[in-house]
Structure 1
């Protein structure tokens, strides 16, 4: 791949978006980033990687998170600030890392609101992977030991958190197709054809 192209993948729980992202990275022989962003942000900021992980967990249990907004504006606070290790600044450091990656290499980035962070970058293909409820449920049941009722609640909870997280940091609706270049139903296409669809779009838009 001669041109520097970044693929961002947002996905519903159980749709296989992360797996498809890894398949894409392997097919194109480019780096894959998910939680690796936390390590890179830790290296960039000097803040413990554990704090980055804990910040996400704290948001899951914060009732105000569902209604509050902290829309990313590109700023990063310095170490002399009292809010240097705040949840917002930790997100901002992740965003800084994502921007640096987009400027320097082709890669696949899963989650982290990367599509929004890179919304002004012309070399980005923004993808949303989804599937019908039963496909997501059946796939999730293959990988987890929960009752049917527990799993359906867990999927709903995970997707709600992803939507709330996206809304909190972007001010936008996670399911709004206008955020993305491609919205693909992995349940209808299967993983291989979903991957082929992404590569076909890449070739049409950027050439071979």
Structure 2
């Protein structure tokens, strides 16, 4: 079964490229299914699972990005590492997401967007790891154009997302998500058209068979 992980900075059309690659490869596109599966496994609400998810609008990464400067990382005003302070520790959500990712890769394959997939599935034979990235200026222009917002607002969204996602990956995996050595393919999807990006990724995934 084919497995592709995609690490996409904000403004690089990951949510367009991922599903298109999955359709071409005949495997599921796995994004929103992860927090739902985590909620079911841990017996919590979907909202609680999303609060700890790096892909969610208000996920753990957002909170980590602001808290990483502090001596202790806080979550919702409570020290994340105080036993019993929360029904589930953030680490529990992240490890559950890892299990879901690995189980889905084993059972059905798929195209996995975000959640440090390249790190979680680094040792999986035949998995293709892709990074979508581009200079901030081009990501700002693309975000402003696609979302119909001003460039100042687009810049703030991108900077907030970049800080959050980098904090999430560094905190839980001690790696830099921008390090190209983690990926087989790094593509600038603000310059290369989306259909061509899809074709590149599909071709590379098929070459690993």
TM-score between both structures, scaled by the size of structure 1: 0.83
| Residue 129 (structure 2) pairs with residue 132 (structure 1) | no
Give the one of 18, 21, 28 matched to 2:18. Answer: 21
SS in 1 for 2:50: helix
Q: Cα distance 1:68–1:106, how it changes in 2: closer, same or farther (>3 A)? A: farther
What does residue 8 of structure 1 align with? 5
Alpha-carbon distance between aligned partners in 2 of 1:205 and 1:199, rounded to the nearest angstrom:
10
Alpha-carbon distance between aligned partners in 1 of 2:140 and 2:25, rounded to the nearest angstrom:
29
What does residue 61 of structure 1 align with? 63
Alpha-carbon distance between aligned partners in 2 of 1:69 and 1:180, rounded to the nearest angstrom:
31
| Consecutive unaligned residues in structure 1, runs of 5 or more | 71-80
Give the one of 80, 88, 93 matched to 1:85. Answer: 88
Q: CA RMSD in A?
A: 2.3
What does residue 98 of structure 1 align with? 101
**Deviation of 1:68 (Å):** 8.0
**Deviation of 1:59 (Å):** 4.4
Q: Does structure 1 retain, via aligned residues, the 8 Å contact 2:63–2:164? A: no
What does residue 191 of structure 2 align with? 188
**Deviation of 1:67 (Å):** 7.0
**Deviation of 1:66 (Å):** 5.3
Q: Cα distance 1:20–1:66, how it changes in 2: closer, same or farther (>3 A)? A: farther
SS in 1 for 2:122: coil
Alpha-carbon distance between aligned partners in 2 of 1:22 and 1:68, rounded to the nearest angstrom:
40
What does residue 198 of structure 1 align with? 201
| Residue 51 (structure 2) pairs with residue 48 (structure 1) | no
Give the one of 117, 122, 147 matched to 2:120. Answer: 117
Q: Does structure 1 retain, via aligned residues, the 8 Å contact 2:169–2:177? A: yes
**Deviation of 1:195 (Å):** 1.1
TM-score between both structures, scaled by the size of structure 2: 0.83
Alpha-carbon distance between aligned partners in 2 of 1:68 and 1:205, rounded to the nearest angstrom:
44
Aligned length: 193
Q: Cα distance 1:141–1:123, how it changes in 2: closer, same or farther (>3 A)? A: same
Structure in which a larger fraction of residues adopt helix: 1
Q: Cα distance 1:67–1:190, how it changes in 2: closer, same or farther (>3 A)? A: farther
Give the one of 127, 152, 155 matched to 2:155. Answer: 152
**Deviation of 1:138 (Å):** 2.1
Alpha-carbon distance between aligned partners in 1 of 2:207 and 2:113, rounded to the nearest angstrom:
22
What does residue 74 of structure 1 align with? none
**Deviation of 1:150 (Å):** 2.3
Q: Give CA-to-partner distance per residue, 1:47-70, whole Å, 9 cap, x none.
A: 221111123435423443357899
